[in-house]
């Protein structure tokens, strides 16, 4: 694998390649963005590219030299993954990093530490890491990876070159599912639309009986009636009480209303995510105006954002159910 095998993040890769070409790598990076979108994979590719025997020509990993192969296998003596043990990244792990920086790298041009879930440092570990960041060295590079950059102390953030990764586009996730997982176009499209832009989410959904869940949800949705408050509460409680399930359910509802808009504005069923429900979608599109459908999409997105902030979930879902047009 090299940069060219990474799904999405084209802009970030372009920046990193030009930094490599100009030999202006920062001594510490912070890769942030939602879980499972390829931040860590990109960190490893960057370390490969920095240390590749052919890096000067390629500004990318060749995947063939000894350095590239060792890093890919996880057996390079100068590349250290750092993880949380239990709840925290322990102070011992950071001290060990400090210890290692005292001598020259054994083989690498730059010794690399890739710190996963970097936000999971307690105060002692964070202070020790800060010391390392305050004494940068040309032969070491630190890459902090996190989905929660706001949980890191400002003193650490300000000493890292920050790169914020966006969720992947649905098309990128679908392409991954088609080419790497051999899924058919329909399933790949559905999972991608529900993944929120995360390959990890899509793979997780692929293991669940997502089709049965969708059947149940769409069935319930088609029976929901604004004049029957019980049906609204049924819908809200079906969407579940766990944050993750709610996310899946809301993405699914969103894809349903998005399909309705497409039927209304473009016609045909080619571009539909839920193509197998085209008759139901067309019937609903007939009943609702474009404005009402847009209102629904907005309300669903709003509810999703509120739930992300850990506000009362069932209350939020019920409020949303009462505001939608059916
Ligand atoms: Zn190489």
Find the 2 Cα to ligand 1 centroid distance in Å: 9
Find the 67 Cα to ligand 1 centroid distance in Å: 6
Find the 190 Cα to ligand 1 centroid distance in Å: 37
Residues with C-beta atoms within 5 A of ion ligand 1 = 52, 62, 65, 68
Give per-residue pLDDT as tens, 224-282: 998 999 999 999 999 976 666 788 889 889 999 999 999 998 887 778 888 889 999 99
Residues 200-226: what's their mean pLDDT?
Answer: 86
Find the 19 Cα to ligand 1 centroid distance in Å: 17
Find the 98 Cα to ligand 1 centroid distance in Å: 27
Find the 137 Cα to ligand 1 centroid distance in Å: 23
Map tokens 């001598």 to a residue: 103
Residues 151-171: what's their mean pLDDT?
Answer: 94
pTM above 0.85, yes or no: no
Give per-residue pLDDT as tens, 7-27: 999 999 999 999 999 989 999
Share of the chain above pLDDT 70, in %: 99
Find the 72 Cα to ligand 1 centroid distance in Å: 10
Find the 256 Cα to ligand 1 centroid distance in Å: 46
Q: How many residues can be counted in the chain? A: 326
Q: In a 3-state reduction of DSSP, which class is residue 147?
A: coil
CA distance 148 to 26: 21
As given in the structure block, the two tokens for residue 27 are: 């001594």
For 254-259, the CB contacts below 8 A with 24+ separation are: 254/297, 254/300, 254/301, 255/190, 255/193, 255/194, 256/218, 256/221, 256/281, 257/293, 257/296, 257/297, 257/300, 258/193, 258/297
Find the 254 Cα to ligand 1 centroid distance in Å: 44
Q: Which of 19-23, 76-80, 199-203, 283-287 has the highest mean pLDDT?
A: 76-80
Find the 14 Cα to ligand 1 centroid distance in Å: 18
Q: Where are the alpha helices (DSSP H) in the chain?
A: 10-21, 39-51, 55-58, 66-73, 91-100, 123-134, 154-157, 170-181, 185-194, 199-207, 210-223, 229-238, 243-265, 278-287, 290-308, 313-323
CA distance 129 to 200: 29
Find the 209 Cα to ligand 1 centroid distance in Å: 41
Evaluate whether 16 touches 148 at the Cβ level (below 8 Å).
Answer: no
**Residue 45 scores a pLDDT above 90:** yes
Find the 44 Cα to ligand 1 centroid distance in Å: 12
Q: How far is CA 185 from the centre of its chain?
A: 21
Find the 54 Cα to ligand 1 centroid distance in Å: 6
Cα within 13 Å of Cα(143), Cβ side? 25
Find the 181 Cα to ligand 1 centroid distance in Å: 27
With b for 16 or more beta-carbon neighbours within 10 A and e for fewer, the 193-221 pattern comes to bbbbbbbebbbbbbeeebeebbeebbeeb
Q: Which residues contact 281 (CB under 8 A, 6 or more apart)?
A: 256, 259, 260, 263, 269, 272, 274
Ordered domains of the chain (ranges, CATH):
3-164 (3.40.50.300), 209-323 (1.20.272)
């Amino acid at each position: 694998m090299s940069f060219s095998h990474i799904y999405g993040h084209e802009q970030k890769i372009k920046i990193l390649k030009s930094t490599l070409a100009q030999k202006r790598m920062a001594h510490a990076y912070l890769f942030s963005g939602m879980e499972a979108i390829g931040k860590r994979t990109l960190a490893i590719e960057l370390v490969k590219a920095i240390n590749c025997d052919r890096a000067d020509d390629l500004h990318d990993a060749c995947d063939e030299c000894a350095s590239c192969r060792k890093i890919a296998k996880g057996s390079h003596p100068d590349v250290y993954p750092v993880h949380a043990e239990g709840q925290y990244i322990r102070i011992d792990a950071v001290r060990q990093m400090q210890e290692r920086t005292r001598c020259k790298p054994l083989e690498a041009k730059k010794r690399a530490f890739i710190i996963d879930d970097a936000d999971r440092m307690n105060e002692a570990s964070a202070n020790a890491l800060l010391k390392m960041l305050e004494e940068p060295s040309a032969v070491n590079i630190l890459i902090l990876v996190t989905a929660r950059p706001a949980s890191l102390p400002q003193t650490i953030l300000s000493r890292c070159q920050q790169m914020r990764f966006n969720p992947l586009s649905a098309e990128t996730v679908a392409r991954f599912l088609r080419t790497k997982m051999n899924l058919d176009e329909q399933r790949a499209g559905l999972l991608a639309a529900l993944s929120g832009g995360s390959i990890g989410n899509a793979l997780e959904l692929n293991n669940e009986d997502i089709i049965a869940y969708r059947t149940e949800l769409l069935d319930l949705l088609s029976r929901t009636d604004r004049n029957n408050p019980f049906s609204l509460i049924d819908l809200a409680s079906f969407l579940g009480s766990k944050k993750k399930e709610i996310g899946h359910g809301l993405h699914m509802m969103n894809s349903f209303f998005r399909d309705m808009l497409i039927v209304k504005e473009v016609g045909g069923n080619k571009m539909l995510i839920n193509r197998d429900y085209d008759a139901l979608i067309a019937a609903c599109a007939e009943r609702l105006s474009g404005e009402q459908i847009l209102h629904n999409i907005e309300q669903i997105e709003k509810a999703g954002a509120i739930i992300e902030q850990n506000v009362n979930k069932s209350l939020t879902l019920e409020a949303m159910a009462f505001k939608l047009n059916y």
